[in-house]
Amino acid sequence: MMAKLSKKDQQGFIIIGGVLAVLLAVFVMGYQLSSKPKLDDRSCPVTIARSTAIVIDRSDDTPSQTLEEIVARTKQFVSDRAEQGELVSLFEISGASRTDLKPVFSACVPQRDGSDIYENRRKIQRQFADRFTKPLDAALAGKPVKSDSSPISEAVTDLSASKYLAAPANRLIVFSDMLQNSDNASLYRCTSAKSAIEEFRANRAGAIERPTFRNTAVELHMIPREGIGRDTVNCRDRFWAWFFGDNEGADAGLTTRMLPGGARVQ
């Protein structure tokens, strides 16, 4: 029969247990910190596993309720689907983007929250807001700029060949009326998708005629335009079905959703 431990011995075991608990916590904290990947000034790891490019067409007037929904859907994407370490880049389409396409925002999703045991949760949450949500909100606050051209296809083609859609898995989110209008092709008053495609390909000879996507989920969020006519709608839809037709991979796909609102084409 084991002898009963004295009060002093019990206190000693408690002290030893407390020391071991502290050492274990320090070890876990050190392991967690050492195992985190090194990040650049955009909060991006050396290897980016997933990327998303968001394109907002600002080349024409857009109703306020449409703009509000664009912001809401973008924020919902970040909240519900964007993963930590994912590169998220925001681009605006206007006449200037034809030869000067660059992101108004580009950063990887940083850590959103942490553990009370070995991390400073408030600091992590503050850094997430400062490095990601606040600059993204500022970029989303941009206003439409009336342009003589709307080079949607050229901008998307450039993105398809860029570092912004070069991860193993990608997502392209486009907010636009998809009424291509440039010196390469115009879908305004278009009645033949075949003719529009042929014109576009002929004018793009020597450049990329149709983008090649790999493992890219494409989402088109359509800005409504009233008064364009059924023939133009059919031409537009067939043109873009051809345009996005070269896409392979497990995540490849094309989905379309309408946005609220409605405005006459000027």
Answer yes or no: are the C-beta atoms of 114 and 120 closer than 8 Å.
Answer: yes
**pLDDT tens figures, 149-159:** 899 999 999 99
Report the pLDDT averaged over residues 26-34. 54
149 Cβ neighbours under 8 A, 6+ residues apart: 59, 95, 98, 181, 182, 183
**Banded model confidence at residue 9, pLDDT cuts 50, 70, 90:** low
The alpha carbons of the chain give a radius of gyration, in whole angstroms, of 26
Report the pLDDT averaged over residues 213-220. 97
Nearest to 59 by CA among 143, 147, 183, 182: 147
Q: Which two tokens stand for residue 246?
A: 């070269």
23: pLDDT strictly greater than 80: no
Gap between the Cα atoms of 59 and 47, Å rounded: 34
**Banded model confidence at residue 15, pLDDT cuts 50, 70, 90:** confident
Tokens 């605006």: give the residue: 92
Which of residues 239 and 32 earns the better pLDDT score?
239
Strand partners, 253: 217
259 Cβ neighbours under 8 A, 6+ residues apart: 66, 69, 70, 175, 221, 222, 223, 224
The pTM (predicted TM-score) of the whole model is 0.84
Q: What separation in angstroms does the CA of 189 have from each of 78, 196, 206? A: 36, 11, 27
Domains, the chain: 50-180+212-230+239-264 (3.40.50)
pLDDT at 54: 98
174: pLDDT strictly greater than 90: yes
Q: SS3 string of 89-100?
A: EEEEECHHHHCC
**Banded model confidence at residue 10, pLDDT cuts 50, 70, 90:** low
98: pLDDT strictly greater than 90: no
**Banded model confidence at residue 238, pLDDT cuts 50, 70, 90:** very high
CA atoms within 13 A on the CB side of 72: 8
